[in-house]
Structure 1
Amino acid sequence: MKFDLNKWYLQKINGEIIYKYSGSVTSDKITESLSLIEDGLDKNLVKGKIRKKVYNVVVECIQNLYHYADIPPLSAEVDIVPKYGLIVLSKDQSFFRISTGNFFKTERLSRIEESIKMVNSLSDEDIVVVYRDILVRDNPNSGGSGLGFLDMVRKTGNKLEYYIYPQDEKYSFLSLDVYIS
């Protein structure tokens, strides 16, 4: 049975929607999205540390989509565009939720799942140690590869929730939820 993207999307648009987008994740779309997200945070009177956390984690999530999303398979009922991704930023009483989703070639998912599981298994102290080790080890021009998931957990203090849904024999859909309170 193939993944039902519309059903997934309907589940993610709970609470007060600050921003939602589905389509090709391009550098122009990132710039536009971040501006709209800032406007949405202003409209919802989000201030101070929580605003900074939400914004920084949204940036990490969008960067993940930009760098790692694949073209969706023909079996997906979406526009077949490069770097197809979805993002929903919502507020629900005492927390914000950033939900992202994108298609991956199934052969690539095990590495991503291992990264998420590793980050989720770390204590707060271990996250800081691993984060610093990566910063020291990486070339300053590499953009801090490997820091995205660590940074999300470090900034939010919450584990990453993820699900992998098979789409067809070659593709799967990765759903990632990050909670900020």
Structure 2
Amino acid sequence: MIKNDIYELYQTMERENILLSFKGVVTSELLSSVLSIMESKMDYMDESPKMKKKVFNVLVECLQNLYHHIDSNEEQDRSFTRIEVKSALFMIAKKDDHFVIRTGNYIDKASAIDLEERLDMINGMDKDELKKYYQEVLSNGTLSDKGTAGLGMIDIARKSGNKLEYQFLPINDVNSFFCLNIKID
């Protein structure tokens, strides 16, 4: 039966034109490898240099977000294995005239509430407001406990030129699964 399952997965990936997908623990070594693979793939695609740069830049931000922000707390550790909490999913697909990057990862519900507010605020801004907000956050100079300035989602929205589609799927009393869909055109 496994042959059938893997073939169905293959057909789905072909139908959806998935260029690259990954499920597992995100490490710095993985980031380097994925970026190298995508850089090679993009070199062979008949896309404008501008589009290649946009896709690559958004991908870098997405992977850095997964790497820096997949975290766990004690309650998450009790409800999942350590591997599950640190695990993420991402895929890059080429559609007719655009690319899509999708990511998914576990997040505790308190963090999900904060992130949802932030995403709604970002999605409510136009191009000029995003640029201004980016500059404000950058000049503020405050770093989170993870050593980031909170520019990732702002940068993704700016570079993709589109609203960020997202969803939080409740998993249990403590956790949600965060799904992010980014269209780049």
TM-score (norm 1): 0.83
SS of residue paired to 1:80 = helix
Percent of matched pairs sharing the same residue: 34
Q: Are the equivalent residues in 1 in contact too, given 2:138–2:149 (CA < 8 A)?
A: no
Letter matched to residue 155 of structure 2 = D
Letter in 1 for 2:51: I
For 2:70, the equivalent position in structure 1 comes to 69
Which residue of the partner structure matches residue 156 of structure 1? 160
- Consecutive unaligned residues in structure 2, runs of 5 or more: 1-8
> 1:33: which partner in 2?
34
**Secondary structure in structure 1 of the residue aligned to 2:150:** coil
> 1:12-31 alignment to 2 at 5 Å?
13=13, 15-31=16-32
Q: Which runs of 4+ in 1 moved over 4 A?
A: 71-76
Kept in 1, the 8 Å contact 2:70–2:106? The answer is: yes
Are residues 1:165 and 2:169 paired? Answer: yes
Note closer, same or farther for the CA distance 1:25–1:118 as it changes in structure 2 (3 Å cut): same
Question: What displacement does 1:45 show?
Answer: 3.1
5 Å-filtered alignment, 1:85-124, equals 85-124=88-127
> Which deviates more, 146-155 or 88-97?
146-155
1:12-57 per-position Cα deviation (integer Å, ceiling 9, x unaligned): 9552111111100000111111111112212333340000000000
1:75 positional shift: 6.6
How far apart, in 2, do the equivalents of 1:74 and 1:173 lie? 16
- Residues 19, 123 of structure 1: CA spacing in aligned structure 2 closer, same or farther, 3 A cutoff? same
1:120-131 matches, cutoff 5 A:
120-131=123-134
Q: CA RMSD in A?
A: 2.8
- Local SS of the residue matching 1:59: helix
The residue aligned with 1:56 is 57
The structure that is helix-richer by fraction is 2
Q: How many residue pairs were aligned?
A: 171
In structure 2, C-alpha distance between the alignment counterparts of 1:83 and 1:38, rounded to whole Å? 25
Match of 2:140 in 1: 137
Distance (Å, rounded) in 2 between the aligned partners of 1:130 and 1:162: 20
Matched, 1:84 2:76: no
SS in 1 for 2:101: strand
Structure 1 residue matching 2:24: 3-state secondary structure: strand
CA contact (8 A) 2:17 2:95 kept: yes
